[in-house]
């Protein structure tokens, strides 16, 4: 198969025409492009936090308390046990907390 031969004189004429067009455009004032604000993603910090959970016999969470409120969680479990419902108990629960860091 034969390749198409590039005519170097025609290519050079095209390049010179393009350069001449650029030179004419340089004389006219150019519009400045507006700078875009960067669209940086907000980073989220994922961490684990410990809670006290009050659960029923079928492992459904009834209530959730902060880790420093263990007494309140145990009191809630005791109140639910007194009411004649199935036994309730207190257990540690870890949950993920996502915070946006700027």
* Residue 63 confidence (pLDDT) above 90: yes
2: three-class secondary structure by DSSP: coil
* Residue 2 confidence (pLDDT) above 70: no
Phi-psi region of 59 (alpha: psi -120 to 50; beta: other; left: phi over 0): left
Q: Give the C-alpha separation, 5 to 29, whole Å.
A: 40
**Average of per-residue pLDDT values in the chain:** 85
- The pLDDT of 74-79, averaged and rounded, is 94
Please check whether residue 42 is in contact with residue 100, taking contact to mean a CB–CB distance below 8 angstroms.
yes
- The pLDDT of 28-38, averaged and rounded, is 74
Q: How confident is the model at residue 55 (pLDDT cuts 50, 70, 90)?
A: very high
pTM as predicted = 0.53
Q: Give the C-alpha separation, 52 to 55, whole Å.
A: 10
β-strand partners of 87: none
* Residue 45 confidence (pLDDT) above 90: no
């Amino acid at each position: 198969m034969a390749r198409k031969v590039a005519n170097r004189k025609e290519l050079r004429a095209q390049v010179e025409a393009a350069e001449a067009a650029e030179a004419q455009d340089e004389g006219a004032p150019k519009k400045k492009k507006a700078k875009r604000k960067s669209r940086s993603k907000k980073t989220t910090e994922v961490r684990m936090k410990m809670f006290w959970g009050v659960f029923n016999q079928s492992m459904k969470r009834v209530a959730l308390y902060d880790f420093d409120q263990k007494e309140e969680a145990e009191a809630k479990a005791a109140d639910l046990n007194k009411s004649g419902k199935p036994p309730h108990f207190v257990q540690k629960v870890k949950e993920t907390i996502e915070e946006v860091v700027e």
